[in-house]
Amino acid sequence: MKIVAVCGSPRKGNTEFMLKRILTQAEKSEISTDLILLRNQRIEFCDGCLSCDSSSVCNKRDDMQMICSKLEDADLIIFGSPTYFDNVTGMMKNFIDRLEFLLSQDKLKEKRIAFVAVGQDSNKSIESTIGFFEKFANIASMIVVGDLSLIAKDYQDIESDDEKIAKIDEFTKNIIN
Determine the 3-state secondary structure of 33 from DSSP. strand
User: Spelled out in words, what is the top-level CATH class assigned to the domain 2-6+21-44+51-176?
Assistant: alpha beta
Give the pLDDT confidence score for residue 144 in this predicted structure: 98
- Per residue in 39-83, pLDDT tens? 999 999 998 888 887 777 788 999 999 999 999 999 999 999 999
pLDDT digits (tens, 9 = 90+) for 148-176: 999 998 878 999 999 999 999 999 999 99
Bridge partners of residue 4, in order along the sequence? 34, 77
pLDDT digits (tens, 9 = 90+) for 89-138: 999 999 999 999 899 889 999 999 999 999 987 677 889 999 999 999 99
Phi-psi region of 18 (alpha: psi -120 to 50; beta: other; left: phi over 0): alpha
For the chain, the structural domain boundaries read 2-6+21-44+51-176
Task: Mark residue 56 as left, alpha or beta (left: phi above 0; alpha: psi -120 to 50; beta: remaining).
Answer: left
